[in-house]
Amino acid sequence: MTLSPDLTDLLARARADLRMGVPVVLSDGAAGTVMLAAETVRADRLAGLRTLDGTPVLAVTARRAETLKARAYDGTLARIEVPEGADVAWVHAVADPKDDLRTPMKGPFVTARGGAATMHALALALVKSARLLPAALLADVADPVAFAQQSGLTCLPAGPSRDMIEASSPLHRVVQARLPLAVSEAGRLHVFRPEDGGEEHYAVEIGQPDRSAPVLARLHSACFTGDLMGSLKCDCGPQLRAALAQMGAEGAGVLLYLNQEGRGIGLANKMRAYSLQDQGFDTVEANHRLGFEDDERDFRIGAGILAQMGFRQVRLMTNNPAKIEMMQSCGINVTERVPLKVGETVQNRAYLATKAAKSGHLF
């Protein structure tokens, strides 16, 4: 039926539900699971989860499990059994590292071994894509489709949903218009929107770059604190302005403003990482303690936008070799790396040094 939501719509709904604390049902034919985001779970919903067929488990990433000293038998994740008396505060304390140093002895945790962890991996991919803490509560349910219908919950087919989350949703240009800028009056802004209702991304085109020659390009990831607030903790704001200035001076270029705040974890999680940095952890350690990888960005998004705009060769303004590798593997030829070394401050010196030492940044 064409009026019914398709899988893309259901995924967008599921993300919104999880952010509100509403459960989502994952179905694999006859078997199924009800999931909740650990960050937004409420006491009544946790109690509801306990009335289902299976004992609830809290799925966390292997990164978070490492900090918690919980055994991760499933490779990239661990299924922590939720003890009988555990309440919402227990769930939050396991998922969120903010009080780890004050209360280091959270365990011991019992983690599940054997059996499939496919649903758990999907649940973690979903909460991550909803920009929540990477932890989810799950409990089995016998007839998932009927249960979802009775309870008015969004029901996702597990296999195809995972593929779609990992493939990242196709982007379409919705509008473009002239945007005179301080660096160049010949500016244009293009807005790209993903089919799954996720974050929009923008491209600022300066002048009329020749599509048959390498274009001066910058893939800039959103940084609310650095780009807009003038934060001294990173170099993003100066990098953004320096890139635009160089494009203005050369008369042509393209800057992608990708809404991948906090290297893809979202602003709330980035602020959690900042809070951990105030406890003494560096930028990479903070991400790991939260349960994320160092960098959760999907650079295929940027490559896809460049290709849609007709750019196949770039002179890429970056200090990050991973961006160059990703562009090349996505079919964008990086003919030259243009260094972007600006904005070092007393406050961001250690941050930049960590990026050089642990993430291979070139300074």
Nearest to 125 by CA among 37, 13, 223, 8: 37
Give the largest Cα separation in the chain, rounded: 65
Q: How far apart are CA 130 and CA 199, in angstroms?
A: 10
Query: Is 187 marked within a binding site?
Result: no
217 counts as binding Zn ion under rule CB under 5 A? no
Q: How far apart are CA 267 and CA 270, in angstroms?
A: 5
Cβ neighbour number for residue 324 with a 10 Å cutoff: 18
Query: Is 358 marked within a binding site?
Result: no
- In the bound state with ligand GTP, the residue whose beta carbon lies nearer, of 119 and 324, is 324
74 counts as binding ligand GTP under rule CB under 6 A? no
Bridge partner residues of 58 (DSSP):
80, 137
Determine which helix (DSSP H) or strand (DSSP E) holds 158, and give its type and residue range.
helix 158-167
Please pick, among 295, 300, 312, 337, the residue that the annotation labels catalytic: 295
262 counts as binding Zn ion under rule CB under 5 A? no
Query: Is 218 marked within a binding site?
Result: yes
Build a one-symbol-per-residue string for 261-300: x at contacts with ligand GTP by CB under 6 A, - elsewhere: xxx-x----x--x---------x---x-------------
- Determine phi and psi for 217, rounding to 5 degrees: -135, 150
> Do 77 and 124 meet the contact criterion of CB atoms below 8 Å apart?
yes
Residue 324 beta carbon to Zn ion: minimum distance, rounded to whole angstroms: 20
| DSSP type of residue 343 | -
Residues in 316-355 at the binding interface with ligand GTP, rule: CB under 6 A: 318-320, 323, 340
Annotated catalytic residue 298: no
222 counts as binding ligand GTP under rule CB under 6 A? yes
- In the bound state with ligand GTP, the residue whose beta carbon lies nearer, of 139 and 340, is 340
Cβ neighbour number for residue 178 with a 10 Å cutoff: 9
With CB cut-offs between 5 and 8 Å by kind, which of ligand GTP, Zn ion, none does residue 169 bind? none
Alpha helix (H) residue ranges in 69-157: 88-95, 118-129, 144-151
Torsion angle in degrees (nearest 10) through CA of 72, 78, 82, 87: 120
Q: Figure out which of the listed residues 234, 243, 258, 352 binds Zn ion, where binding follows CB under 5 A.
A: 234
273 counts as binding Zn ion under rule CB under 5 A? no
- In the bound state with ligand GTP, the residue whose beta carbon lies nearer, of 45 and 361, is 361
Please pick, among 19, 297, 315, 349, the residue that the annotation labels catalytic: 297
Q: How far apart are CA 161 and CA 193, in angstroms?
A: 19
Query: Is 169 marked within a binding site?
Result: no
Query: Is 262 marked within a binding site?
Result: yes
Annotated catalytic residue 294: no
Residue 162 beta carbon to ligand GTP: minimum distance, rounded to whole angstroms: 24
> Do 265 and 273 meet the contact criterion of CB atoms below 8 Å apart?
yes
The token duo for 232 is 């001294």
Residue 312 beta carbon to Zn ion: minimum distance, rounded to whole angstroms: 29
Pairing of strands 77-81, 57-61: antiparallel
Enumerate the known binding-site residues for Zn(2+). Answer: 223, 234, 236
Q: Binding site residues for GTP, as ranges?
A: 218-222, 239, 261-263, 283, 318, 323
Catalytic residues: 295, 297
Q: Which residues bind ligand GTP (CB under 6 A)?
A: 220-223, 234, 236, 239, 260-263, 265, 270, 273, 283, 287, 318-320, 323, 340, 361
Residues near Zn ion (CB under 5 A) = 223, 226, 234, 236
